[in-house]
Amino acid sequence: MTASYIFSPKGLSALAHFVTPDTLFAFDLDGTLAPIVEDYAAVEISEPVRATLGRLVKIAKVAVITGRSRQDALAILGFEPHVLVGSHGAEWPVREGRLNSQQSQQSADCLIWREKLFNLLSNIPGVEIEFKGESLSLHYRKADDAEATLLLIDAAIDTLIPEPRRIGGKYVVNLVPMKALTKGDALIAAMEMFEAQRAIFIGDDVTDEEVFKLNNANIFGIHIGKDDQTAARYYLKKQSALLGLLNSMVGILESYKPLEMGALP
Ligand SMILES: [Mg+2]
């Protein structure tokens, strides 16, 4: 099934049915709320997008599910979503106690991996090891020979015990514990947490497909960029079009009677 353009008549009418006061609005961060930049530490959300998100969090439940650590993401967001999940679905706020014991096992695995990878890779030029508590990212964008560097990274990963789940990206390999929640699991958990009947999820990368391929009738998936490979039902042409989409959604929500909005938990 190919994705349909969200700003087509069909897309807009489907969207309007999904935008209600009890919809959970969920977003990826890099490439979705913020444009991709060469230096992943320099990513920024534009002021208009941030302002519109600020309106959205006041009238609806908002989730951000990112590959970054929560701490890192929070600094970039500049606003507090109702839930912020880091490390591709693996890192939850500490107060969500039911996930705690699993999370501490995951952290312990990541610490072991970090030490091993540091020993094997710290002398390889252009490789950066980013430790995120519940996951690890191996960046190699700065390597002169990306292909050869990736082979070395792969060989190092093959030595890790317990075996991690690998998530590829653009010049990055992410490692998460096998048992960690995926972004798809994380969105379902967030919907349960807020008792949301439906969710809208917008994302752009491989890990976001974990949400799209759930093929859940209550989740409205929007992929950033036209892509024949995505399992999302709708797409936005580019990241810069997000602002228009956010404004449409906020406009629909603000048209609900204040009484109905007052009924939000
Ligand atoms: Mg992304």
The whole-number pLDDT of residue 153 equals 97
Q: How far is the CA of 105 from the centre of ligand 1 (A)?
A: 26
Structural domains in the chain plus CATH codes: 4-92+181-262 (3.40.50.1000), 98-176 (3.30.70.1020)
Gap from CA of 244 to ligand 1 centroid (Å): 19
Positive or negative: CA dihedral 109, 114, 115, 120: positive
Distance 50 CA to ligand 1 centre (A): 17
Interval 203-256: pLDDT, tens:
998 899 999 999 999 999 999 999 989 999 999 999 999 999 999 999 999 888
**H helices of the chain, where?**
9-18, 47-59, 70-77, 100-121, 146-158, 183-194, 209-212, 242-254, 258-262
Which two three-digit tokens encode residue 123? 């002398």
Q: Which two tokens stand for residue 243?
A: 């602002």
Select the more confidently predicted residue: 41 or 136: 136
Instruction: Give me ligand 1 centre to Cα 29, in Å.
Output: 6
Q: How remote is the CA of residue 168 from the centroid of ligand 1, in Å? A: 12
CA of 173 to the centre of ligand 1 (A): 14
Q: What is the mean pLDDT of the chain?
A: 92
What's the CA-to-centroid distance between 159 and ligand 1, angstroms?
Answer: 28
Please say if the pLDDT value at position 103 is more than 80. no
The rounded Å distance from CA 250 to ligand 1 centre is: 22
**From ligand 1's centre to the CA of 261, what distance in Å?**
30
User: What is the average per-residue pLDDT within 105-134?
Assistant: 93
What's the 110 CA to ligand 1 centre distance in angstroms?
22
pTM for the whole thing? Answer: 0.88
20 pLDDT above the threshold of 80: yes
Q: What does the pLDDT look like over 154-188, one tens digit per residue?
A: 999 999 999 999 988 888 999 999 988 999 999 99
